Amino acid sequence: MISFALANAITFLQFGASIVIARLLSPKEIGIYSIAAAIVGIAQLFRNVGVANYLVQEKNLTHDKLRSAFGIQLVMSWFLGLLLFLSSGLVATLYNEEGVHQVMIVSSATFLLAPFGGVNLTLLARDMKFRERSVVEIVSSITHACISITMAYLGFGYMSLAWASLGNTLATVVVSSFFRRRGLPWLPGFREVRSVLSFSMPTAGADIVRYLRTNTPELVAGRVISFEAVAFLSRASGLIRIFESVVGSAINRVAFAYFPQEHRLGSNLKTLYIKANSYLCVVAWPFFATLAVLAKPVVELLYGNQWTDSIPLVQILAVAAALAAPFSLTNTTLNAIGAVKTIFGFEAMLFVLSAGMLLIAANFGITAVAAVLVLISACSSALCARYLRKLLAVGFHDIFRSSAAAIPATLASLAIPIWVMYFSNIEQTWITLAVSGFGAVAGWLLSILIGRHPFSLEIIGAAKRVWNR
């Protein structure tokens, strides 16, 4: 519950800032930054080289292994920062936009700072110190929000987001140092490099391919369609990612450290996966279904009329997200049992399929790109089901049974929003959202309590703890 509450605080900060930024910057300015940020993100994954997964999974984490993990991150980060700096002009030429060059120059500076907080932040997750890690992330989010909003208001355009990213990294390094694990080495080393890389390289490959797959829609749209199309897709994706930020990240933070710990102790991960999936879907499906119904008033109220082209994209991406929800913990679970090569093969296969389909779809517009993402999500789910059955003995019937329990809650949460949108005479946007949102939450809560969904026990337990305090 601590992880969930703090994740919500972080999401509130980030989402609130994105609403303000959407009104201060134009779609083209946000599109320019999105393209540069997607490219920088690829370098960030190479920088980490899967070290975080290694640090969480490794049973015997010695002093030399910690020094080697830090050394690898330091060398890779500084090298990639230099590479970003030198290649920024080439990338700007590819996209025919000088702004991409400017953003990448500033972003390359973050690579000089990031290694000094990376290992420490990962160890907070390994030690399951979620409160301390969330404090770091909250301070960093506040820093990012303050810098981006202030500079955007002063007229710095897309560069306000680049400088905010640098401020975010600096805040992470400084604040994480206050929670530094006792005995954590200050100097890098390379004695256990082979041990670290033998596990982390396949993991890093999977992370990189997954990131490429996730960001291919924006990279392709920016090259084939326009920067405005990238911005509309980015805003739509941002609304979809609210769930990941509020619920998914809280669950994944715990699972990222808890699943490997339980596997080391010999626990049955099949049971854990099915339980986690049941909890995830009973929240995810009602959220995505309600968002699809309320896409128009949500976009208009939060972002303004200049972003109405995002409305159909939100609805399509909500379908894709709902299809993927029952399998969103697959990679975390497979990583816990050390099946990193399997994850890499899965991600590589899906990336090749996705890239080909998106390159074709981009020629028909941004709506076609979003529609293809639904098909890609279905393919991803089918592959995940195959690997879960093979490696964890989690059959499709297990997934279906744990997910299907969310159907009544989904239908109950939709009743009031559908009535408000299609049968009522409410005209004010904020009233539409207020009534629909309250009705959706009330319907969802009544459904899981009356239907005695297992998640209701967590809600009742949390309510009792709050009441006792």
338 and 446, same domain (yes or no):
yes
**Which residue, 258, 250, 320, is CA-closest to 288?**
320
325 and 467, same domain (yes or no):
yes
Using a 10 angstrom Cβ sphere, with 0-12 exposed, 13-18 middle and 19 or more buried, the burial of residue 142 is middle
Query: Which comes out higher in pLDDT, residue 319 or 211?
Result: 319
Q: What is the mean pLDDT of the chain?
A: 82
Question: Quick one: pLDDT at residue 6?
Answer: 57
370 and 234, same domain (yes or no):
yes
- Angstrom CA distances, 252 to 141, 169, 330, stand at 19, 22, 11
pLDDT at 320 over 90: yes
262 and 170, same domain (yes or no):
no
Query: Which comes out higher in pLDDT, residue 341 or 317?
Result: 317
Q: Which amino acid is at 372?
A: V
Give 198's pLDDT tier (boundaries 50, 70, 90).
low
Residue 468, in any domain of the structure: yes
Question: Quick one: pLDDT at residue 215?
Answer: 79
Question: Quick one: pLDDT at residue 178?
Answer: 84
Last residue of a domain, one of 138, 165, 191: 191
Residue 47, in any domain of the structure: yes
- 296: tokens are 């128009």
Q: Which amino acid is at 449?
A: L
424 and 275, same domain (yes or no):
yes
pLDDT of 20-74, one tens digit each? Answer: 888 888 888 888 888 888 888 878 777 766 677 677 666 677 778 777 878 888 8
**Which of 250-259, 272-281, 396-405 is least confident?**
250-259
How many domains are there within the chain?
2
Query: Which comes out higher in pLDDT, residue 255 or 300?
Result: 300
Domain span at 147: 1-191
pLDDT at 302 over 80: yes
Which residue, chain included where needed, has tokens 């296969």? 349
Give 255's pLDDT tier (boundaries 50, 70, 90).
low
Q: What is the mean pLDDT of residues 108-131?
A: 78
Residue 280, in any domain of the structure: yes
Question: Quick one: pLDDT at residue 372?
Answer: 93
Q: What is the mean pLDDT of residues 368-377?
A: 93
112 and 251, same domain (yes or no):
no
CA atoms within 13 A on the CB side of 90: 6
**Which residue, 303, 283, 287, is CA-closest to 236?**
303
pLDDT at 165 over 60: yes
Question: How far is Cα 5 from Cα 280, in angstroms, rounded to an integer?
Answer: 16
Residue 442, in any domain of the structure: yes
pLDDT of 447-458, one tens digit each? Answer: 988 888 877 777
Q: What is the DSSP string of 70-88?
A: HHHHHHHHHHHHHHHHHHH
Query: Which comes out higher in pLDDT, residue 2 or 30?
Result: 30
Residue 110, in any domain of the structure: yes
286 and 392, same domain (yes or no):
yes
- Angstrom CA distances, 293 to 19, 289, 298, 417, 441, stand at 20, 7, 10, 7, 14
pLDDT at 3 over 60: no
pLDDT of 207-235, one tens digit each? Answer: 777 777 887 888 888 888 888 888 888 88
Residue 200, in any domain of the structure: no
pTM over 0.75: no
91 and 233, same domain (yes or no):
no
Q: What is the mean pLDDT of residues 184-192?
A: 74
Query: Which comes out higher in pLDDT, residue 433 or 328?
Result: 433
262 and 326, same domain (yes or no):
yes
**Which residue, 98, 125, 221, is CA-closest to 181?**
125
114 and 11, same domain (yes or no):
yes
Residue 196, in any domain of the structure: no
Query: Which comes out higher in pLDDT, residue 16 or 250?
Result: 16
Q: What is the mean pLDDT of residues 240-267?
A: 65
User: What is the distance between the terminal CA atoms of the chain, rounded to a whole angstrom?
Assistant: 14
Question: Quick one: pLDDT at residue 254?
Answer: 60
Question: Quick one: pLDDT at residue 164?
Answer: 93
